[in-house]
Chain A
Amino acid sequence: MIQSLEKERSLLEMKTHFISMASHEFKTPLTAISSTMELLQTKLQMDNLLDQFYTHNISKISSEIFKLNTMLDEILTLSTIVSNNIEVRKQAVEIERVIADIKYQYFSERKDDRVLNLKVSGTPQPIYADRNQLSKIFTNLVSNAFKYSSSNPVVKVHYQKTRVVIKVTDDGLGIPEKDMPYLFQSFFRGSNVDAIEGTGLGLSIVKDFVERNNGNIFVESKENKGTTFTIIFKYPDHIPAA
């Protein structure tokens, strides 16, 4: 019995390792494909050959490459969660720095010139959490806010006396009321987002990571008005020395 459990665990670890390796290895050819597309686009433009047909189709290829990349990241994260192989490495974290980092890393210089607005109030205090997981939480929520709206998403960080409250808001499609109970289930997608591609994994990862870091997540939404995700982390009584 113990032997077969160990074999099972070892197989699961191998699977997770393989998915991790494949996911990282796929990124170099994906980068080569997207860069080659950009090279072609630049050359066509320089030769005055870049018409609407080329622009439209090059942009379709480029958009699919980035979707594939998101899928790879989400499958990798979910496989680590499912195999229970995920490590929560807590440390003192300044939440607004994590959000400023992801803003710089993922949401600056957008092709559509939209920006992420970050508003901070109160006196900053650190929380005790896993930085990589916090980064994934806000990357997923902000990506969704961009994806399902056409204006600038807003992240408000409000430092209160005993806790920090973070709100990620967009004024986009919103979530139909009937979908709310299933929102955080893996592979579930809202009934009004058929035309917008996604894996249905992002929010289940968000909820898992929020809870692993002792936080709470709430959602308020109105169809065609927008959505606000609220995440609350209490400040720790003390932060263990690193």
Chain B
Amino acid sequence: MNKTILLIEDKPTLLDTLKSLLELNHYKVIVASNGAEGMEQAKLNRPDLVISDIYMPVLNGYELLELLKKDDMLRNIPVIMLTAKTEIDEIDLAMQKGADGYVTKPFVFKNLHAIIKKFLH
């Protein structure tokens, strides 16, 4: 059965392209355009993996991460963060808050896919 990925990104073009790339690689993809929508979708669909941008309106990626890791039903879902900031401190912060992986923008899909496979296969 295809694994389900919840993809959270506020920029529609990037969201659409990443969704298509993941679908071409045989994943079922659910999308959300901010952390709050992402949290709703996570509760509703219990995805196998979450990929989330950090800087988003309404609820950002760090806030989402905290909510996911506090929720008994969702805390074991691996979360990969996407960030435009490359400073190690920023990446450390994401890992401290419970992220399981991170990818800096712009990225090569092969690299993102390698991390996804580490958690899903």
Which of A's residues lie within 8 Å of B, judged by CB? 24, 27-36, 38-39, 42-43, 46, 62, 65-66, 69, 73, 98, 101, 105, 108-109, 111, 131-132, 135
Contact = CB atoms under 8 A, between A and B. Distances in A.
Contacts of A42: 21, 24-25, 109
B84 to A, nearest CB: 4
B104 A32 contact: no
Contact of A109 (B11, B20, B87, B108): B108
Contact of B106 (A30, A39, A46, A109): A30
Q: Is the interface of A mostly helix, strand, loop or mixed?
A: helix
B94 to A, nearest CB: 12
Nearest to B102: A105
A131 B88 contact: yes
A205 to B, nearest CB: 13
Contacts of A30: 105-106
A29 B104 CA distance: 13
A29 B105 CA distance: 10
B84 A32 contact: no
B71 interface: no
Contacts of B84: 24, 27-28, 31
A10 B64 CA distance: 35
Nearest to A73: B86
Contact of B88 (A39, A69, A135): A135
Contacts, number: 73
Interface of B: 11, 13-14, 17-18, 20-21, 24-25, 84-89, 91, 102, 104-111, 114
Contact of B110 (A39, A43, A73, A111): A111
Given A73-B86, A132-B88, A28 B105 contact: yes
Contact of B11 (A24, A32, A39, A62): A32
Which 9 interchain pairs have the tightest Cβ spacing?
A27-B84, A31-B106, A31-B105, A35-B17, A32-B14, A32-B13, A30-B106, A38-B109, A27-B105
Contacts of B14: 28, 31-32, 35
A75 to B, nearest CB: 14
Given A28-B84, A32-B13, A66 B106 contact: yes
Contacts of B11: 28, 32
Nearest to B18: A35
B79 to A, nearest CB: 17
A72 to B, nearest CB: 10
27 contacts: A24-B84, A24-B85, A28-B11, A28-B14, A30-B106, A31-B105, A31-B106, A31-B107, A32-B13, A36-B13, A38-B21, A43-B24, A62-B108, A65-B106, A73-B86, A98-B88, A105-B86, A105-B102, A108-B111, A108-B114, A109-B110, A111-B108, A111-B110, A131-B88, A131-B89, A132-B89, A135-B87
Given A29-B13, A35-B17, 5 more contacts: A24-B85, A27-B105, A33-B106, A34-B106, A36-B13
